[in-house]
Amino acid sequence: MSEKRKYKKRFCKYCEAKVDFMDYKDAGTLRFSLSERYKIMPRRLTGNCKRHQDMITIVIKRARAAALVPYTVTRKTVVSAPFENLR
């Protein structure tokens, strides 16, 4: 239930930042839409608009193929600060 609070604000972060193009190498932008286990966050939680969510899914999948973002996180590899190594 605490997770619900975290994503309470219902606006698109990418619209606010005026993101028109996303680079799969730019992990900083992907960060908003990845869970701590590198899953793509659903739109109902992040509040992203359709346009940016579509962009995000494409870019994240591309980043996974380029091994910038892991596909899966096992119990062993899960870390408390998952995005530190993405910088």
52-81 positions binding Zn ion, by CB under 5 A = 52
Rounded Cα distance, 35 and 58, in Å: 16
Q: Is 40 among the residues that bind Zn ion (CB under 5 A)?
A: no
Smaller CB distance to Zn ion: residue 29 or 82?
Answer: 29
Instruction: Give Dmax over CA atoms of the chain in angstroms.
Output: 37
Smaller CB distance to Zn ion: residue 55 or 69?
Answer: 55
Rounded Cα distance, 31 and 68, in Å: 12
Q: Is 24 among the residues that bind Zn ion (CB under 5 A)?
A: no
Q: Is 49 among the residues that bind Zn ion (CB under 5 A)?
A: yes
Q: Is there a contact between 34 and 60 (Cβ–Cβ < 8 Å)?
A: yes
Q: For the chain, how far is it from start to end, CA to CA, in angstroms?
A: 30
Stretch that binds Zn ion, among 24-32, 45-53, 54-62, 69-77 (CB under 5 A): 45-53
Q: Which positions touch Zn ion (CB under 5 A)?
A: 12, 14-15, 49, 52
